[in-house]
Structure 1
């Protein structure tokens, strides 16, 4: 027969022949089923490894009901927060011998689809689900009805275990830092267009921002609140909008900005410097996350242990999977912390030594 350039297909029959056992024994040994001696199991595994044969996960699932896979449901995977959470979770999942199946919500995260997300793609393919920032509009039954363990990160579904930081506290802490430095005219650049879909992070951080202002008897100025989403470009555009609205006059600009995320802060810093504004002398900037690149910008930020949230959530989920029965929900709240660098300082002053932008 002519050589077609392809290696011959290795199957369970070839493994059985090399190991000197029946195909049924190979099947039971590689799926971890009882009724196979330790010596035989070891012999079969050695034969399979030498031939490069791996048991089909779907076939194993039919027998054991387990897929040895964890599903990760995320609205975006390009944003740093989500990729970092997934990285932390994958460390734990991989160490425990599980695979990860990524399920981006993508276009499903829309007002007419949030409540009816099709989870059939996950049915019988995963043993549990990590839900990252599951939007409030998503009907919990869409996930709960899968009848497999679910743990959320960054948001909470009633009756479901989760890991998160208090985003109201995040916004409050960031704004209080600026107020302690003497700032009174503070902008919040962080409105999120995706908030329409039920994502609450930006709205909660804004609530913390307003709480700090109100406690210090500082009026909330709607003109100092801008739309950014969570992108660098959004931060740049929002800062430029403020700059143009004030007639490009430094004395009319806010003396400080609370950015909803570090990525938004990066864009703000870039746009400020491109337009001749000094950071922090003319405008202080604080972000959220402690992004891997935040130190390059010397950015003051409210840090949160993002990868640790992924690790903790993955351990919780695998514990639920192993128990294989409903477990009491557990919510782990991580503590954010102020990281002071060089993008915040006391507000600029005028010729009389009084703060400007008041």
Structure 2
């Protein structure tokens, strides 16, 4: 009825190249008129492809990962692909589940990891199954990676505070070395310490606070430090969620922000603007879209990239930072 070959119909319905926009529109119109829907099972058997992509996350309850998943799903859906989620969160913060063959084999065509430092056994499994993989955040050797420069983002935050006259700066976001998603916390803490040293600022060891990267924990974890007379005049939080927890702790203790304490984060969390939080913004949705496009290129064009794509960050100054208090 469309007046084209079976192969052209197939390419048009799958959103592949080498089909003119006019032909694609005609095929889609005829398919709609005929109420034609390809059987996913039959298509998978014929092509060996499931048109499903595994998205692997250490947590799914955190806003950062939810935004990534949403952006990835939208990009894949536009090309007729779908997402299956694998949440590797275990019962404790410092452990995670491992990827297994039962999760992936004959169920997915490719994998996108969300800040998951994969161990050698997991990389070997993906290689053995011949699955293209794109990493967001923590890189996977020999695979494409989309990320921000955490060191640059952290330096931007510290330099902003230093520019306001702060010389006594604390930090929240340190985690034990066995935490399941270790790389980003380590990178940001290392960059903080390097920048403090390079700028000649002061940060006592007791001003570096551990946290599980939630607002609730950060509020508790920062209470003792903010109660002290020798507290820092500013706090850099490794994420906006923790920065919001510090703001809550300061408010309960009667500290004025930013007159008594300046607070900044990294991310630009969905509530940061409402709460007036200064932060270093990263384009979370942009990370997801870019990763999905790289994986689609591997699946649809057999063009598997090993490039590293670094998206920019930018300082967003709001009401939570101000000049260092005098006296």
**Range into which the TM-score falls when normalised by the shorter chain:** 0.7 to 0.9
> Structure 2 CA distance, aligned partners of 1:41 and 1:346?
60
C-alpha distance after superposition, 1:244-288 (max 9, x if no partner): 4x2xx4xx2210000011111111111111110111111000001
| Matching of residues 7-22 of structure 1 within 5 Å | none
2:81 is equivalent to residue 98 of structure 1: yes
Q: Give the C-alpha shift of residue 119 in structure 1.
A: 3.8
2:157 is equivalent to residue 158 of structure 1: no
> Structure 1 CA distance, aligned partners of 2:12 and 2:38?
7
Q: Give the C-alpha shift of residue 303 in structure 1.
A: 0.4
2:316 is equivalent to residue 316 of structure 1: no
**Higher mean C-alpha deviation, range 255-264 or range 143-152:** 143-152
Q: Report how many aligned residue pairs link the two structures.
A: 310
- Secondary structure in structure 2 of the residue aligned to 1:106: coil
Alpha carbons of structure 1 residues 143 and 134: separation in structure 2 relative to 1, 3 Å: farther
Q: Partner of 1:189 in structure 2?
A: 172
- Unaligned 5+ segments in structure 1 are 1-18, 20-24, 351-358
Q: Whose Rg is larger?
A: 1
> Structure 1 CA distance, aligned partners of 2:77 and 2:27?
27
- Secondary structure in structure 1 of the residue aligned to 2:85: strand
- TM-score normalised by structure 2 residue count: 0.85
> Structure 1 CA distance, aligned partners of 2:27 and 2:270?
49
Q: Partner of 1:3 in structure 2?
A: none
Q: Partner of 1:241 in structure 2?
A: 224
- TM-score normalised by structure 1 residue count: 0.78
> Structure 1 CA distance, aligned partners of 2:91 and 2:129?
18
Alpha carbons of structure 1 residues 162 and 108: separation in structure 2 relative to 1, 3 Å: farther
Alpha carbons of structure 1 residues 253 and 322: separation in structure 2 relative to 1, 3 Å: same
> Structure 2 CA distance, aligned partners of 1:260 and 1:58?
45
Q: Partner of 1:341 in structure 2?
A: 318
| Matching of residues 260-279 of structure 1 within 5 Å | 260-279=238-257
Q: Partner of 1:64 in structure 2?
A: 47
C-alpha distance after superposition, 1:275-319 (max 9, x if no partner): 101111110000011112111111100000110010011011000
| Matching of residues 73-222 of structure 1 within 5 Å | 73-107=56-90, 116-137=98-119, 139=121, 140-193=123-176, 196-222=179-205
Alpha carbons of structure 1 residues 64 and 142: separation in structure 2 relative to 1, 3 Å: same
**Higher mean C-alpha deviation, range 212-221 or range 301-310:** 212-221
